[in-house]
Structure 1
Amino acid sequence: MKKTAKTLGLLIAAVSLFAAGCSESSTSSAETFPAVKTWKVASVQTGLTANGKVVAAEEVQVVSKVSGKVATVPVQEGSVVKQGDTLVTLEASDFQEQINQAQAAIAGAEARLRDTKAGARTQQLQQLASTVEQAQATLKVAENNYTRMKALFDSGALSQAELERVTLDTEKARTGLEQAQAAYDLAKAGPTADSVAALEAEVARLRSSLDMAKNGYDNTIIHAPISGIVAKKNVNPGEMAGAGAPLLVLVKMDQVKVEASVPQAMINNVKVGSTVDVKVAGMAEKVWSGEVEFVSPVSDANSSSFPIKVRLDNQDGLLRAGMVAEVYLQGEAQKGTKVPASAVVEKENKNYIYTVDQGVVHQVEVSVSESGADWAVVASGVKENDQIVIHPTDELSDGSMVSAN
């Protein structure tokens, strides 16, 4: 019995020691970190703003004036081109044949014009004069024959039909002489002004046809109308290009525009030529200076807002078409981040903010550009989405563990 009691006592003592150990462990695991109140940094807008999108300063759809089969496309999407660079070439054999035909037709017309202006040659005049003499001799024979036949008719020895036949021969001979004489006189006098003018007009018409053929040939080579970047390519070698169909799209991005809509109540605050600040989503730390170049006198068809356009320099290429932007219509855009004034702590003439990342405190030195009773503008040191301690205490230090809420 005593042995049993002794054993029971040892067991109770062991259980007590175990319970004490568990109690200490529970107390250690339940250790809590000081709770701090935090605030999430977000971008802040100041003044009157208008939302819009970035577009290229210039956008050109490159088209062909003529239809044809694509021979070469020496550029790709993203290629940087200068004004006048070759973008597309079309097969040009048909246009070259038209040029050859027009040149041959001009050569023939010019030869005829030269001959006409030169007039008849001496040999031609001599030949025509000989023809006149032959016609005169023929007429003389016909007239003598008519005289004899008329005498026979008058004596009753010749019928009326025979006399009429001789009379007709005489008239034919007279007409032949008149024609030969007219041809000789015309050749001797040279071409008329109207004849020369008609041939000159024909030469001019054929030269116009040649110019059209050359223009068609030149149009088979499509050049860049502006310097810029190939944003889109719609054709490849071997495909057919239709006249007027877009082949490529060129954009000029060294300058861009922001197209925004301004509510009716604010539109009178916007003037052409005025300078405004612009901020772009995702780049809140950077502010662009732009110039208003257009204020529409007519509102949007589906709203009471008015379109405006703001031109910006984009030499660094940070701005891309389609980016969302904010235009500050009055005052300057906030050049910094707005935070509660109570989050800024001054130590030894320096300003600090405590950020919290996964329960760990980080002491960050900041530059304060503006400060008020409730808010401060921090020019550097924190960024959007940072968690900062609103009311830091003296117990906080870099590396402290806290429970944020």
Structure 2
Amino acid sequence: MKRAAYYLAVLLALAGCAPKSQETAGAGRAPVTVKVQKITDVSSTETVSYVGTAEAAKSTMISAPNSGRLVSLEVRRGDRVSAGQVIGQIESQTVRSSWQMAQATLAQAEDGYDRAMQVYDSGSISEVQMVEINTKLSQARAAADAAQKALDDCTLKAPFDGYVSDVLASESVQLNMFEPVVRIMDISEIIISFSVPESEINSLTPGQEVTVDVAATGSAALKGKVLSKGISASPLSHSYDCTASLDAGPGRLMPGMVCEVHVLRDSGHGAVVPASVIQTGTGSRYVWTVDDGIVHKTPVKVGGFSGDGVIVTEGLEEGDLVIVEGYQKVSSGMKVTAEEQ
């Protein structure tokens, strides 16, 4: 946004360096022929730009589910992995002891249940006692299932197809619970993360079209759409985190690459004119307009860039005729012959 404002200021400064006409020099001259642009639509759009970063649409950190020693690590950074592929193995004495205890308790409960069933039909065990025995068996099975899952989780596996982007642990090291081991990214889909100032967030809506320029790839601009916008501003920057998706595949775009996100938005009331017709006076800007064959100096205020020129936010109305060719040789009050482009 700052870059666009800078370019606009430079263009307008250059335009203002054009030879100035004497505002009273038009008296007695034969009409000069000029070309004009008729303002037919006072609604306009402008392009705003934000700095963004490419990110993998799907990324996860694989961490140690329990404390233990990393006895094997099967991948390195940059390796491609498939869903379910073994990443590493953690040996946890605590988990294994819990599993062995749960298995022993289950075996004891199953044996007790089998013995009880043998005498239940003869009436040697009451209905209440049988219910208690059955309950203990169910509890033992649940505990054994939980212990088995904890043991299975010590085998680290890739949750989806992707690439190993970071390796954060080494074989034989002792890990704490939830300590990160590797990060896996699926880079088949890339999203763009960017921040929008609080003054502009309301003009952004999910589904809005964007174009993305990535200098690192040297390829043509990528088309996409706004995917999401934040609902809570950063307390430091007062900006909102937003994301954009790409219509096509990522191509050579990789996570971490810096890019520019361009958003076309409605700038409200305004007329688009060529930047060259904006003249600079003392502390103000103006254009030359024609009304009934007479030239008038019309003060204007300008906004940002549009696809076809500069947006004039104040000073022009629908139907006004703005001189776009020959403005260098006119002055206020001069008679001219206006030809529309």
In the alignment, does 2:205 pair up with 1:271?
Answer: yes
Partner of residue 73, structure 1 = 73
> Which residue, out of 207, 229, 241, partners 1:295?
229
Asked if structure 1 preserves the Cα contact closer than 8 Å seen for 2:66 and 2:92, the reply is no
Per the alignment, residue 210 of structure 1 pairs with 144
1:258 and 2:186 aligned: no
- C-alpha distance 197-325 of structure 1, shift in aligned 2 (>3 A): same
The aligned residue for residue 4 of structure 2 is none
C-alpha distance in 2 between matches for 1:318 and 1:240:
38
In structure 2, the gaps of 5 or more residues are 1-45, 266-307, 310-341
* Residue number in structure 2 paired with 1:319: 253
The aligned amino acid for 1:225 is P
- Give the CA deviation at 1:324: 1.8
Task: Flag the structure with larger Rg.
Answer: 1
Measured against aligned partners, the alpha-carbon deviations of 1:215-249 in whole angstroms (never above 9, x if no partner) come to: 12101111112322111111222111221111111
Q: Quote the residue 2:9 is aligned against.
A: none
Instruction: Give the Cα–Cα distance (whole angstroms) in 2 for the partners of residues 197 and 239 of structure 1.
Output: 47
Amino acid across the alignment from 1:191: I
Are residues 47 and 267 of structure 1, via their aligned partners in 2, closer, same or farther at CA, if it must alter by over 3 Å? same
- Equivalent residue, structure 2, for 1:240: 174
Q: What residue number does 2:117 align with? A: 117
Q: Percent identity?
A: 22
Q: CA 1:110–1:305 in 2, change beyond 3 Å: closer, same or farther?
A: closer
Preserved CA contact (<8 Å) 2:190 2:250: no
> What does the per-residue CA deviation read over 1:279-319, in whole Å, with 9 as the maximum and x for residues that have no partner?
01244551101121112233332234333211226745411
Instruction: Report the Cα offset of residue 268 of structure 1.
Output: 3.4
Q: In 2, Cα distance between the equivalents of 1:283 and 1:116?
A: 74
TM-score by length of 2: 0.57
| CA pair 286-217 structure 1, distance change in 2 beyond 3 A | same
Give the distance between the partners of 2:182 and 2:248, measured in 1 at CA.
23
Secondary structure of the 2:264 match is coil
SS of the aligned residue for 1:321 comes to coil
Q: 1:87 Cα deviation (Å)?
A: 0.9
Query: TM-score normalized by structure 1?
Result: 0.49
Which residue in 1 is equivalent to 2:47? Answer: 47
- Which protein is richer in helix relative to its size? 1
CA change 1:252–1:109 in 2 (3 A) is: closer
Q: Which residue of 2 aligns with 1:195?
A: 129
- Corresponding residue pairs, total: 222
8 Å Cα contact 2:211/2:263 also seen in 1? yes
Cα distance change, pair 236–100 in 1 and its aligned pair in 2 (3 A): same
SS in 1 for 2:241: strand
1:256 is displaced (CA, Å) by: 1.6
Q: Aligned in 2, Cα 1:53/1:117: closer, same or farther, shift over 3 Å?
A: closer
Stretches of structure 1 lacking an aligned partner (at least 5 in a row): 1-45, 122-187, 332-371, 374-405
Question: In 2 relative to 1, CA 82–255 (structure 1 residues): closer, same or farther, beyond 3 Å?
Answer: same
> What is the distance in 1 between the residues matched to 2:200 and 2:114?
76
Q: How many Å separate the matches in 2 of 1:229 and 1:237?
A: 20
Equivalences for residues 167-182 of structure 1 within 5 A: none
Q: What are the equivalent positions in structure 2 for 1:143-162 lying under 5 Å apart?
A: none
Q: Could you tell me which residue of structure 2 aligns to residue 9 of structure 1?
A: none
Letter in 1 for 2:158: A
Q: Offset of 1:96 from its aligned partner?
A: 5.2
Instruction: Note the 1:6-405 alignment, pairs <5 A.
Output: 47-91=47-91, 95=95, 98-119=98-119, 189-283=123-217, 285-312=219-246, 315=249, 317-330=251-264
